[in-house]
Amino acid sequence: MPGSPKLPRVPIPGPRALPVLGESGNSFRFFSKPVTSLLALHQRHGDIAAITGGSPAMVCAFGAEHNRAVLGDDSTFLSHGEPPFPLPEDSALGRMLRENMMSKNGQDHRRLRRMLMPAFQRARILAYRDDIVDVTEASLRRVVPGGVVDASRVMLDLMLGVIMRCLFGVDVSAGGDPLGPLSIALLEGFLSPANLILPYDVPGTPYRKLLRDANRLEERLLALIEERRATHDGRDMFSALIHAHDEDGSRLSDVELVAQSILVYIAAYETTAQSLSWTLLLLALHPEILYDLEDEVDAMLHGEAPTAEQAASMPLLDAVIKESARILPATPICSFRLVGEQATLGKYTLPKGSRILLSPLVTHRMGDVFPEPTRFLPERWSRITPTPFEYLPFGAGPRMCIGHAFANLAMRLILPMALQRFRFALRPNTEISLQLKGISGAPKNGLPMDVTTRRAPRPGNTRRPKPKGEIRALVDLS
Ligand code: HEM
């Protein structure tokens, strides 16, 4: 890894360092095609493999046993909160990146997690049903049937509205609150390769813009904290965090509130939107399952939006969402960890400073737990009960996704609502490949799909469309 301290060599198998470019070249090659690289690394080198053979700078560990060892021990395998670029000491961007829960370890992480937890409890999450349904209805009204839409864009716009409403209690649909565009600008800045290459605070650079966007976002959130403290009536997650207190009565500081709310937005938005997009794609690739799901949704809902109870009572919907998260998890790489003290992983001793990467995408394809792993088979979920380390779309252990109940509710409300109104069909020969955006796996060129209204009855023809690109290696479409 560029800029990493030199680590002693460990005999972990992996590809040789590229000529001239060395380990940095291997890293670049790996992350430019992360999914293909992960699958190839596992196939060629086994359950513990290094991006550069012999180097513990980036070690990939696959399968339940290693997931348990790493995710279960958060005092040895630390969350790897290194910012991707240098941060000015006294800056909004620095405060957001350094003070959020994902950048913390040990007591600091546990304290923040304890403070956030009540806002994410299932009972509280179910109360967001009406907000999610309202925003979804408004968002789906903007989809014009009869043409081609980028289904992934539709889901991103929809989820932005949902998150802004449930997290901050604001409506961003009419461009009303600057929180929407500011949050998007911040996320784009985080993910922009330009900021990795040129992190200089000089006029005209994207890095300067990122610093300025972070300042404006912080200002808006500090004003919102004042408003919410004054009114005491917010039902949103932000209000819950403002009023949260620890066992000793202490509360989150303003800096902590801003940092946690930005983390929640970033962790929730793309991941949930991409999960929905991948599910729409998988259904379009398996029309026979799509039509069965439409039948289940129609029989349960008769054209109405689901209640929270109905959302949890559709067996095929549940199986489709689980299987989609197995075969195309929204976070193909779920967890980066830094070895805090010399540690053992499998048969290797890893020096302090080694980095580990875990992948649900690969673990979910291990044939002993998931037979015929490349086939999209929702019905398998009536036969299997994998352990939390075998099936981990939301991670596992003490840092497991705090928002999984929210994501599960949102997906089980939004998907039936979309399927009641529209049929999304993939055009033949569409190229579907993946890229990493932060920790989310996103379709590289979007998901262009024909969208029609659902007036037409179930077609007799269930021929599967044949896309091009990486998807063919990931999903068996025979
Ligand atoms: C389908 C959607 C989602 C997926 C696939 C997902 C996935 C994950 C994963 C894999 C982790 C663990 C990362 C690690 O081990 O380092 C994580 C953590 C986290 N997620 Fe999610 N997530 C989703 C939705 C959400 C939502 C909706 C929220 C909030 C409303 C959220 C908030 C968080 C937070 C705050 C953490 C950090 C937890 C900690 O450090 O203790 N996520 N998520």
User: Two tokens at 465?
Assistant: 């469309």
* 393 CA → ligand 1 middle, Å: 9
Residue 199: which of 209, 184, 186, 187 has the closest Cα? 209
Q: Are 52 and 7 in contact (CB under 8 A)?
A: no
Q: Which residue has the tokens 């990939």?
A: 60
Give the residue, out of 131, 394, 415, with the most ligand 1 atoms within 8 A of its beta carbon, to mutate for a pocket test: 394
CA of 245 to the centre of ligand 1 (A): 22
Residues 464 and 428: beta-carbon distance below 8 Å: no
**pLDDT of 172 over the 70 cut:** yes
Range name among 101-105, 130-134, 186-190, 361-365 with the lowest pLDDT average: 186-190
Q: How many CB atoms lie within 10 A of CB 244?
A: 18
Q: Above 80 in pLDDT, residue 175?
A: no
**Ligand 1: distance of its center to the CA of 295 in Å?**
32
Q: Which atom of ligand 1 is nearest to the CA of 410?
A: 27
On whether the CB atoms of residues 61 and 47 are closer than 8 A, the answer is yes
307 phi and psi angles, rounded to 5 deg: -80, 170
Do residues 92 and 214 touch, judged by C-beta distance below 8 A?
yes
Interval between CA 88 and ligand 1 midpoint (Å): 27
Per-residue burial over 199-229, b if 16 or more Cβ lie within 10 Å, else e, is beeeeeebbebbbebbeebbebbeebbeebe
Beta partners for 48?
61
Percent of the chain scoring above 90 in pLDDT: 77
Which amino acid is it at 47?
A: D
pLDDT in tens, 193-202: 788 788 888 8
Ligand 1 proximity of 267 Cβ (cutoff 6 Å) = yes
Decide if pLDDT at 444 tops 60. Answer: yes
Name residues whose C-beta falls within 8 Å of residue 403's C-beta, 6 or more positions apart in sequence: 120, 264, 267, 268
Residue 50 confidence (pLDDT) above 90: yes
Cβ of 326 closer than 6 Å to ligand 1, yes or no, is: no
pLDDT digits (tens, 9 = 90+) for 67-87: 999 999 999 999 987 777 888
Distance 334 CA to ligand 1 centre (A): 9
Protein residue whose Cα sits closest to atom 21 of ligand 1: 401
Pairing of the two strands 77-79 and 147-150: unpaired
Q: Hey, whose CA ends up nearest to atom 36 of ligand 1? A: 401
- C-alpha to C-alpha distance for 199 and 451, rounded to whole angstroms: 41
Find the farthest-apart pair of alpha carbons in the chain and give their distance in angstroms, rounded.
64
Task: Judge if the beta carbon of residue 98 lies within 6 A of ligand 1.
Answer: no
Q: Is 357 in the pocket of ligand 1 (CB under 6 A)?
A: no
- What is the CA(267)–ligand 1 centre distance, in A? 5
State how beta strands 355-358 and 59-61 pair.
Answer: parallel
Calpha distance 260→263 (Å, rounded):
5
The predicted complex's ipTM stands at 0.99
71 CA closest ligand 1 atom index:
15
| Cβ(378)–Cβ(289) below 8 Å | yes
Q: What confidence tens digit (pLDDT) does each residue in 209-262 have? A: 999 999 999 999 999 999 998 887 778 999 999 999 998 999 999 999 999 999
Cα of 305 vs centre of ligand 1, distance in Å, is 26
Instruction: Please say if the pLDDT value at position 180 is more than 90.
Output: no
Residues facing 435 on adjacent strands: 442
- Please state the atom number of ligand 1 nearest to the C-alpha of residue 166: 30
Q: What is the mean pLDDT of the chain?
A: 93
Residues 13-47 pLDDT 10s: 999 999 888 888 898 889 888 899 999 999 999 99
**Beta strand 348-350 pairing with 343-345:** antiparallel
Ligand 1 atom closest to 260 (CA): 35
Amino acid code (one letter) for 136 = T
| pLDDT at residue 2, rounded to an integer | 44
From the CA atom positions of the chain, what is the Rg in Å? 22
Window from 21-25, 395-399, 472-476 with minimum mean pLDDT: 21-25
Share of the chain above pLDDT 70, in %: 99
| Alpha carbons 464 and 475: distance in angstroms, whole number | 12
Q: Is the CB of 271 under 6 A from ligand 1?
A: yes
Contact 334 CB / ligand 1 (< 6 Å): yes
Nearest to 335 by CA among 395, 267, 262: 395
pLDDT per position as a tens digit, 116-161: 999 999 999 999 999 999 999 999 999 999 999 999 999 999 999 9
Which residue has a Cα nearest atom 6 of ligand 1?
Answer: 394
- CB contact at 8 A, 167 and 236: yes
Tokens representing residue 218 in the block? 């912080």
pLDDT of residue 455: 77
Angle made by CA atoms 242, 79, 266, in degrees to the nearest 5? 50
Q: With contact defined as beta carbons under 8 Å apart, do 276 and 160 qualify?
A: no
Q: Is there a contact between 69 and 51 (Cβ–Cβ < 8 Å)? A: no
In whole angstroms, what is the distance from residue 282 CA to residue 447 CA?
A: 11
Position 197 scores a pLDDT of: 80
Please indicate whether residue 27, judged by its CB atom, sits closer than 6 Å to ligand 1: no
pLDDT at 438: 76
Is residue 356 very low, low, confident or very high in pLDDT (cuts 50, 70, 90)? very high
Using alpha carbons only, what angle is made at residue 273 by residues 267 and 274, rounded to the nearest 5 degrees?
Answer: 95
Query: Rounded CA gap, 287 and 291, in Å?
Result: 6
Q: Token pair for residue 305? A: 């939006």
Residue 147: Cβ-neighbour burial (10 angstroms; 0-12, 13-18, 19+) = exposed
Higher pLDDT, 192 or 98: 98
In this predicted structure, what is the pLDDT of residue 451?
95
